[in-house]
A and B are shown apart, each in its own frame.
Chain A
Amino acid sequence: AQTVTQSQPEMSVQEAETVTLSCTYDTSESDYYLFWYKQPPSRQMILVIRQEAYKQQNATENRFSVNFQKAAKSFSLKISDSQLGDAAMYFCAYISNFGNEKLTFGTGTRLTIIP
């Protein structure tokens, strides 16, 4: 079974600075997708960024980028120029590309932005 681990329950960063959230996963599969979801206090989970395992290039979405290390099974999220609106719970998630439709989530990292 796949597992996703987020070892940082809480992180904080000064506004305008850069922060990296860690995620590792365990799987025996070679083809899968990884996601970062953001859950602000308003509760709705919003997709931040996704990475396809067969693509070596790291995904980037504006201020958000990932460092995907397939051999190490690591998928960290970097937030550049942190803004107050980035404060949220961040979840790393995995989904297999072999007909398995369920997302497997990590336990989340609560990110605080310090003004």
Chain B
Amino acid sequence: EPEVTQTPSHQVTQMGQEVILRCVPISNHLYFYWYRQILGQKVEFLVSFYNNEISEKSEIFDDQFSVERPDGSNFTLKIRSTKLEDSAMYFCASSEEGISNQPQHFGDGTRLSIL
């Protein structure tokens, strides 16, 4: 069964550095998402992306964050200048269509640790 894949599985970065998290969505999916989960807390929506544009973003997704689909397969989340509170598990998801009854398929996540 096709899967969403994320790399790396664990990223350690110094505070203030830029980090790029990578995701390969399922190939025929058109809608892409990033979520994060701070340790011990709930999974939170960050951003959704369709047709090379952000379609929705949360208040967490400030100017330090950006997303991009640089080619036909990758979907990236960039954090420009990382802060300690960015330490979390980041999940990428994709869905075939952006309608609510189409389930979002999640990757394994990238654990981001900011030192």
Contacts and interface: CB of A to CB of B under 8 A. Distances in A.
Interface of A: 32-33, 35, 37, 42-47, 50, 52, 91, 93, 95-97, 100-108
Contacts, number: 59
- Interface size class, chain B: 20 to 34
B4 to A, nearest CB: 8
Nearest to A101: B48
Contact of A44 (B44, B98, B99, B107): B107
A26 B99 CA distance: 21
Contact of B103 (A44, A50, A100, A104): A50
Contacts of A43: 89, 108-109
Most buried by B among A95, A97, A101, A103: A101
Interface of B: 3, 31, 33, 35, 41-45, 48, 55-56, 58, 89, 91, 98-101, 103-109
A107 B44 CA distance: 10
A83 B104 CA distance: 25
Contacts of B41: 107
